[in-house]
Amino acid sequence: MDANLELYRVFREVARHSSFSAAARELYVSQSAVSQAIGNLEKSLHTTLFVRGAKGVKLTGDGKLLYDYTESALSMLEKGEEMLEERAKLLAGEVKIAAADTISKHFLLPYLQKFNGGHPSIRIQVVNRTSMQSIALLKSGAVDFAFVNLPIKEEGIATVKCMDVHDIFVGGRKYKHLSPYPMAPSELIKYPLIMLEGISNSRKYVDRYFMEYGILLEPEIELGSHDLLLEFAKIGLGISCVVKEFSKEYLEREEVFQIPLETPIERRSMGLSFLKNVPMSAAAEAFYKTVVSGE
């Protein structure tokens, strides 16, 4: 296509008004500029688009054909420009997030509530995945952010730490008698253990702790939900490894009791990951600021 987009804008206005002078007023240009633009377009397309008459101009057959396509194409472009402007002003747009259900419930929810309150027109999409699955979605471009258990070392991924957490062991009333006395890892594994599935970063972190003592964990029960870890411990099925910060209500209500280790598991972190060197949309940037800066 040799003709530039502005020539088609001029063509549309002339066709709408059946007048060069009216089109010129609409476009805030001179009538001669409109005439020159139409002449250049006709030359480029090797056809005549208008028939000039005493009462103005009328579209030729080729002109009518071109006008239908021009009107549709320019309307789509203008709609796209409007949508981009709305996104820039945070009047539209979306933020896509991947996060494990535990992080979603115990960390992410307050930020989602705050962001939605300040930007109700922005659509929020959250998918529940493990940390590594969330990172895979991020790298594929399917989501803007991944909330993950750290550490994460992936090329092209930047991560901001959001909070520290502590892995602890808890039991229900059946195991309350163990709570006053710190226990060696070799003693703890004599009891039925309830752990997260081995694919989770959280579980791998705890596995590494026990490997330092030469212990390969073989839990009686493996689950995919942190809440179920607490519920299973509560009814006495075994001793669960949970996140202390996400178990406060159970501990405060004495539904479960912490069973301390002689050497506590070192704290770990949770963070917000995003693609390096990829500009964020206005909506994504606003969400990032809500989480990281508290804005």
What are 249-294's pLDDT values in tens digits?
999 999 999 999 999 999 999 999 999 988 888 889 889 999 987 6
Non-local (6+) Cβ contacts of 157 within 8 A are 135, 138, 139, 273, 274, 275, 276
Grouping H, G, I as helix, E, B as strand and the rest as coil, residue 59 is: strand
Which pLDDT score, from 0 to 100, does residue 1 have?
Answer: 47
Model-level pTM greater than 0.95? Answer: no
Write down the mean pLDDT value for the chain: 91
Where in the chain is CATH 1.10.10.10? 5-88
* Architecture of the domain made up of 167-266: 3-Layer(aba) Sandwich (3.40)
The tally of CA atoms less than 13 A away on the side-chain side of residue 201 is: 22
Residue 83 has pLDDT above 80, yes or no: no
Q: Could you tell me how far CA 1 lies from the centroid of its own chain?
A: 38
Cite the DSSP H helix spans in the chain. Answer: 5-17, 20-27, 31-45, 61-88, 101-103, 109-118, 131-140, 185-188, 201-211, 226-234, 248-252, 282-292
In the chain, % of residues over pLDDT 70: 96
Phi, psi of 206 (to 5 degrees): -70, -40
Q: At what angle do helices 31-45 and 5-17 cross, to 10 degrees?
A: 110
Which pLDDT belongs to residue 295?
63
CATH for the stretch 94-164+270-292: 3.40.190.10
**Domain with residues 5-88, CATH architecture:** Orthogonal Bundle (1.10)
Hunting for tokens 């500009």 — which residue is that?
279
Could you give the residue range(s) of every CATH 3.40.190.10 domain in the chain? 94-164+270-292, 167-266
Contact between 189 and 207 (Cβ < 8 Å) = no
Q: Residue range 154-173: average pLDDT? A: 94
pLDDT of 20 strictly over 50: yes
